[in-house]
Amino acid sequence: LEQMDVSRVKLMWVNYPNMPTGTPATPELYNRLVDFALRKNIIVVNDNPYSFILNDRPLSILSVPRAKECCIELNSMSKSHNMPGWRIGMLASNGEFIRYILKVKSNIDSGMFRAVQLAAVTALQARDDWYEGNNRNYRNRRRPAEAIMQALGCTFDKNQTGMFLWGRIPDRYSNVEELTEKILHEARVFIVPGFIFGSNGARYIRISLCCKEEKLEEALGRIKELKRVES
């Protein structure tokens, strides 16, 4: 980006913790983004809905000095509070940016149903132990998901955050479809091939942690049985 002509760029969209890769944000990354935005006169918009999921250090880009001069942060109740479909989100920035956004938003619709907004207020008042319990559920699901990766010979980064686990397939497979088709037809387990998220995912698989722990354990058992028969 430093080498590109960005003189006509007004908005820069980023997403950390990242979807779909699970890459976490770091203070260093946010500092670099803010510095870049200030120097290039660009507004950075960070979509941050996964900040509280399997993340020991939830970070906001707005914690960086001067970030409110050039940044807007988005968040959503869908991920952090298990409220998908409620269509409740929020943003934070400086007053000027928010006034501009409200001016546009007020001409698009009249806002969400008030009862839904009040439910979101209640959810945001949850105590720390609620978040701890929510993450405990994800950690319990993460264990069989990691075991599936290991059973398939995949390598993965244990520092991934969010609701998914990515793994790189072994070199012995010519492509990711060879592995996912084999597991689908012989173990009756569907695993998402990474290429559906773009070419960089061509040798990766992704497991969702939205599945119940029992389902993940069942999938693990089927894969282990397939490996036992093959050996």
Render pLDDT for 121-167 as a digit per residue (tens, 0 to 9).
Answer: 999 999 999 999 999 999 999 999 999 999 999 999 998 999 999 99
Task: Indicate whether 3 belongs to any domain.
Answer: no
- Give me the pLDDT at residue 126, please: 94
Of 109, 124, 139, the position where a domain reaches its end is: 124
What CATH number does residue 89 fall under?
3.40.640.10
Contact (CB, 8 A) for 61 and 30: yes
Please tell me the pTM assigned to this model: 0.86
Query: For residues 117 and 112, what is the distance between their CA atoms, to the nearest angstrom?
Result: 7
- Give me the pLDDT at residue 56, please: 82
- Give me the pLDDT at residue 112, please: 85
**Residues 104 and 202 occupy one common structural domain:** no
**Residues 109 and 21 occupy one common structural domain:** yes
**Residues 97 and 120 occupy one common structural domain:** yes
Total number of domains in the chain = 2
Render pLDDT for 42-68 as a digit per residue (tens, 0 to 9).
Answer: 999 999 999 999 988 899 999 999 999
Task: Indicate whether 204 belongs to any domain.
Answer: yes
- Give me the pLDDT at residue 210, please: 94
Give residue 110's pLDDT band: very low, low, confident or very high (50, 70, 90). confident
- Give me the pLDDT at residue 99, please: 97
What CATH number does residue 168 fall under?
3.90.1150.10
* Long-range Cβ pairs for the range 6-14 (8 Å, 24+): 6/40, 6/42, 9/40, 9/42, 10/42, 10/43, 11/42, 11/43, 11/44, 11/45, 12/36, 12/37, 12/42, 12/43, 12/44, 12/45, 13/45, 13/47, 14/44, 14/45, 14/46, 14/47
How many Cα atoms occupy the beta-carbon half-sphere of 199 within 13 Å? 0
**Residues 69 and 29 occupy one common structural domain:** yes
